[in-house]
Structure 1
């Protein structure tokens, strides 16, 4: 599982792909000392869908994570098919 980092409007998220599921390890606002979410392990980290439900105000961050996920997914698929 490779670690990814996404930043939007002062919010930072670290996340990993776990069997086609986006697991969010960390979410924090750069202007706040304490994180909003901090998971001890990628396997216990909440998935993106759950966080979208719990924190709808962070939709721009969730959308950016989803976009990065799909971009990586399609690049990986192209490589596996030998088209790149």
Structure 2
């Protein structure tokens, strides 16, 4: 299980996959030292849907994470013709 980092609109989120569930570990503004949110352990980290509800103004960040998640899950979609 590897940790990922996504940036959008001056916000950064560290997240990880937990059995196809996106768990948010850290959210911070690039210009501030203190994080907006931090989870000590993966098991206690909220999923993407919960973070959307808690912090709806960060929808650009949540959308960017969702995009990276789907790009990672379906890399073959980029070239649907396949390799001959």
Query: What is the aligned residue count?
Result: 79
Report what 1:53 is aligned to: 53
Higher Cα radius of gyration: 2
Q: Which runs of 5+ in 2 are unaligned?
A: none
Structure 1 runs (4+) greater than 4 angstroms displaced: none
> 1:65 matched to which residue of 2?
65
Gaps of 5+ in 1: none
Whole-Å separation in 2 of the counterparts to 1:55 and 1:27? 10
Q: TM-score, normalised by structure 2?
A: 0.87
TM-score, reference length from structure 1 = 0.87
- 2:19 is equivalent to residue 25 of structure 1: no
